[in-house]
């Protein structure tokens, strides 16, 4: 990778395996102080297909030069690899990038205090891809096909040209970038982080799995996204004694009441026990609302908000996100009315209603077709109904739900009932 000198970066380290007289150099992203993200082929022995002995690895001081000598690796830290994790059934493909070429590595002690903020969500990937946002890449690889030596990290920003959900039957998402002024992944770049700094927070998108390193134009760096391998990442987090990543919230819906919007959801199906809160975000990723509950209300004006998302998060801020459907105006179903028997001139009319799907309703008000209030119904009542005495005539009714944010849109009219003389 030929680009700017990234010496001193806190986000990448060299992961070097020394086995006898041979050694292999890869890069790894510093996701957590004790958990790295790299490429699977960096931790698997090509001759046996088994994991490389953790004791053979040296981990370099983040962003620092290194040198491999007969005495070991100059620039290595005291941190040692405890265990590596790849997808079950992972297989190498010679010099080709294999399916599921992503790995997580657990260390016995913290490597650094400064790390990535969290894994980027799949929705953030989609937004960056659609917006042509350059995604940074860091690697300790060769500067070019002609300069086949390396000792420092280099960094470049490369646009994503494709997101692949079927790369060689991988279980997660692969991302393919175009070369930028000849910048490509070369030997040693494998495992390096791909990331975007958003709102001041560095978000780890995925890794570098390989490239062509041929100096020719066209497609270059390919890698895999961390969040799409959340179950694999969680195995590493559990080993490191860290909270696992919750999956995305489910059963999302959004409802508007006047100039406010309420979004509600159900907890994630996976790692729900680690959730400490939820964030509701707008289309740019800016925070609209945060809560520890499963609903949140916030002002959105007369036009509301579109393309919102909800992200679950654990104590370390990790968690996936889901899309919120466009908000609909809160509106109850039309009430059902029935005239009851009575010997008096005015007859009792029973009006029954159905509850609205909204977290906070203080009362329901039944009105005439012209909006005149007739009776109030407690949301906790069962059945939800009220009775009113009416003079002979033909009547239709509406119902309005009253919330802390204001009144809902009046329901459609009920079927007509006639009070006879």
Q: Which of 164, 155, 235 is nearest to 194 (CA)?
A: 155
* 123-132 burial: b if 16+ Cβ within 10 Å, else e: bbbebbbeee
List Cβ<8 Å contacts ≥24 apart for 46-52: 46/92, 49/91, 49/92, 51/84, 51/86, 52/17, 52/19, 52/84
pLDDT at 83 over 60: yes
Across the chain, what does the average pLDDT equal? Answer: 92
**Confidence band, pLDDT 50/70/90 cuts, at residue 341:** confident
Please provide residue 83's backbone torsions phi and psi, each rounded to the nearest 5 degrees: -160, 145
Give the residue carrying structure tokens 């909270």: 243
- Give the DSSP letter of residue 38: E
What pLDDT does 143 receive? Answer: 61
Q: Give percent of the chain with pLDDT exceeding 90.
A: 77
What pLDDT does 332 receive? Answer: 95
What pLDDT does 376 receive? Answer: 96
Instruction: List the beta bridge partners of residue 264.
Output: 253, 295
Structure tokens that stand for 1 in this block: 């990778």
Residue 183 CA: distances (Å) to CA of 138, 188, 190:
11, 14, 14
CA distance 87 to 377: 56
User: Per-residue pLDDT tens for 183-242?
Assistant: 777 788 999 999 999 989 999 999 999 887 666 665 678 999 999 999 999 999 999 999
Torsion angle in degrees (nearest 10) through CA of 165, 171, 173, 175: -90
CA distance 414 to 192: 64
Helix (H) / strand (E) containing 99: none
Task: Let me know: does 396 contact 369? Beta carbons within 8 Å.
Answer: yes
**Confidence band, pLDDT 50/70/90 cuts, at residue 145:** low
Domains of the chain: 4-229 (2.40.10.10), 250-329 (2.60.40.10), 336-419 (2.60.40.10)
């Amino acid at each position: 990778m030929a680009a700017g000198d990234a010496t001193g970066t806190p986000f990448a380290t060299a992961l070097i395996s020394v086995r006898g007289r041979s050694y292999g150099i890869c890069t790894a992203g510093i996701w957590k102080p004790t958990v790295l993200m790299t490429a699977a082929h960096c931790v698997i022995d090509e001759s046996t297909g088994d994991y490389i002995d953790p004791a053979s690895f040296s981990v370099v001081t983040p962003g620092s030069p290194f040198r491999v000598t007969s005495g070991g690796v100059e620039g290595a830290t005291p941190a040692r690899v405890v265990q590596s994790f790849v997808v079950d059934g992972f297989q190498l493909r010679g010099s080709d990038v294999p399916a599921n070429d992503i790995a997580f590595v657990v260390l016995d002690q913290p490597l650094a205090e400064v790390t990535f903020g969290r894994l980027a969500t799949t929705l953030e990937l989609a937004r960056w891809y659609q917006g042509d946002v350059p995604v940074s890449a860091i690697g300790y690889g060769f500067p070019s096909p002609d300069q086949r030596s390396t000792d420092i990290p280099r960094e470049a920003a490369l646009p994503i040209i494709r997101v692949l959900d079927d790369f060689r039957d991988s279980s997660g998402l692969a991302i393919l970038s175009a070369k930028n002024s000849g910048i490509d992944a070369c030997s040693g770049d494998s495992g390096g982080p791909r990331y975007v700094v958003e709102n001041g927070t560095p978000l780890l998108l995925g890794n570098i799995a390989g490239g062509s390193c041929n100096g020719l134009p066209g497609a270059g760096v390919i890698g895999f996204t961390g969040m799409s391998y959340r179950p694999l990442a969680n195995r590493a987090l559990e080993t490191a004694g860290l909270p696992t990543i919750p999956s995305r919230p489910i059963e999302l819906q959004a409802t508007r009441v006047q100039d406010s919007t309420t979004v509600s959801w159900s907890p994630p199906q996976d790692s729900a026990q680690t959730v400490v809160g939820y964030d509701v975000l707008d289309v740019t990723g800016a925070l609209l609302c945060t809560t520890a509950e499963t609903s949140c209300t916030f002002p959105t004006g007369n036009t509301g908000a579109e393309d919102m998302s909800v992200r679950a998060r654990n104590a370390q801020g990790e968690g996936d996100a889901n899309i919120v459907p466009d908000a609909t105006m809160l509106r109850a179903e039309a009430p059902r009315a029935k005239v009851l028997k009575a010997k008096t001139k005015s007859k009792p009319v029973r009006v029954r209603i159905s509850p609205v799907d909204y977290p906070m309703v203080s009362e329901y008000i039944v009105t005439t077709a012209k909006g005149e209030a007739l009776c109030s119904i407690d949301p906790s009542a069962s059945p939800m109904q009220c009775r009113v005495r009416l003079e002979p005539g033909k009547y239709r009714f509406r119902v309005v739900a009253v919330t802390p944010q204001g009144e809902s849109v009046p329901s459609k009219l009920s079927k007509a009932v006639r009070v006879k003389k």
